[in-house]
Amino acid sequence: MQPSTDIQRLLEIMEALRQPVTGCPWDVEQTFETIIPYTIEEAYEVADAIERRDMDDLCDELGDLLLQVVFHARIAEEAGEFSFGDVVQAVTAKMIRRHPHVFAVSDAHTPEAVKLQWDTIKQQEKQARVERRQKRGLPLDDKAGYLGSVQRSFPALVEALKLQERAAKVGFDWSSSEPILAKIEEEIAELREALLEGQNDKVRDELGDLLFAVVNIGRHVDADPETALRGTNAKFRRRFSHIETSLEEAGEKLEDATLQRMEALWQAAKNIERQLI
């Protein structure tokens, strides 16, 4: 078996890996459910490579993500459900259908008009899907209501953003960022009260309300919360690395350093970053 730029080779490799007798024992025993964590992990690693602007890693990670698609499709094909070709056919049909301004005739000539057109087509697709499932005698989706289109499988931060965006389309939204800031302050006060009461369930509930409000302010100022938090995570890594490196250079151990010592090094790292801006 030789590598190739042809997608068919990747399909052949996966088929070989899944052969019960001659394949890889680990690959053979996998199911849709067992490889879910790997699929999610690969998607995050693609995002990480993009944020680091590492094109070598990005090429590699995109390949790993593609492998997950091929893996799922192979399991489905073995079960007689669908094949990789069906996946490709479905997404190409969807892209053509959702872009009549490119592949057909449409009056949508601005980004706003295209977005509105996209949403309309998605609603039509949703109704068509319901009708197909009814004809096949399949159970309908358990999603209900206007917010039913927002996937519960999203990471919580993403789900919160999607729920807010969806609700905003029918006018359930703050008019500006100021009321949201007031809401955040209100949620902080409620969290503080819950902490004083020592009720874990209430603390968890109030913390969730606070995070939801913080996501909302991010949406209003056009700062994607996931991207913002990942940026802060990267910043935390840099500054903590400075603490660790500085202690090592001074012949000190990280485990033995006092909080005051680490805080001083943290502030030093912040000052260095300011000078580089």
Let me know whether 12 and 66 are in one domain. Answer: yes
**CA 113 to CA 100: how far, in whole Å?**
12
User: Is 146 contained in some domain?
Assistant: no
Residue 73 lies in a domain: yes
Q: Which of 141, 162, 194 is the last residue of a domain?
A: 141
Residue of 210 and 114 predicted with greater confidence:
210
Name residues whose C-beta falls within 8 Å of residue 4's C-beta, 6 or more positions apart in sequence: 10
Number of domains in the chain: 4
- Are 248 and 215 within one domain? no
Residue 109, domain member (yes or no): yes
CATH of the domain at 43: 1.10.287.1080
- Shared domain for 1 and 83, answered yes or no, is yes
**Residue 64: per-residue pLDDT:** 97
**Same-domain check for residues 110 and 128:** yes
The residue ranking higher by pLDDT, 143 or 261, is 261
Q: Is the pLDDT of residue 143 over 70?
A: no
Give the separation between CA 192 and CA 198, rounded to whole angstroms: 10
Residue 163 lies inside a defined structural domain of this protein: no
pLDDT of 144 reads 62
Residues 218 and 240 in one domain: no
Q: 211 and 123 in one domain?
A: no
Angle between helices 200-220 and 225-249 (to 10 degrees): 110
Cβ contacts of 58 within 8 Å, gap of 6 or more: 46, 49, 50
Average pLDDT over the chain reads 92
Give the C-alpha distances (Å, rounded to integers) separating 21 from 1, 85, 128: 18, 25, 42
Contact between 243 and 269 (Cβ < 8 Å): yes
pLDDT at 160 over 70: yes
Answer yes or no: is 247 within a domain: yes
Whether residue 122 is found in the same domain as residue 211: no
In the chain the first and final C-alpha atoms are separated, in Å, by: 51
Q: Are residues 3 and 57 in the same domain?
A: yes
Is 151 contained in some domain? no
Q: What angle do CA 91, 94, 100 make, to 5 degrees?
A: 140
Taking the C-alpha atoms of residue 44 and residue 273, their distance in angstroms, rounded to an integer, is: 26
Are residue 240 and residue 212 in the same domain, yes or no?
A: no
Which pLDDT band holds residue 142 (cuts at 50, 70, 90)? Answer: low
* 250 and 209 part of one domain: no
Write out the residue range of the structural domain in which residue 113 sits. 103-141
Report pLDDT for 141: 60
Average pLDDT over residues 68-91: 97
Query: Based on the domain organization, do 201 and 266 belong to the same domain?
Result: no
Q: Which ranges of the chain would DSSP assign to H, the alpha helix?
A: 7-17, 25-29, 36-51, 55-78, 84-98, 100-103, 111-135, 156-168, 177-197, 200-220, 225-249, 259-276
Residue 140 banded pLDDT, cuts 50, 70, 90: low
- In a domain, residue 263? The reply is yes
185 plus 251 within the same structural domain = no
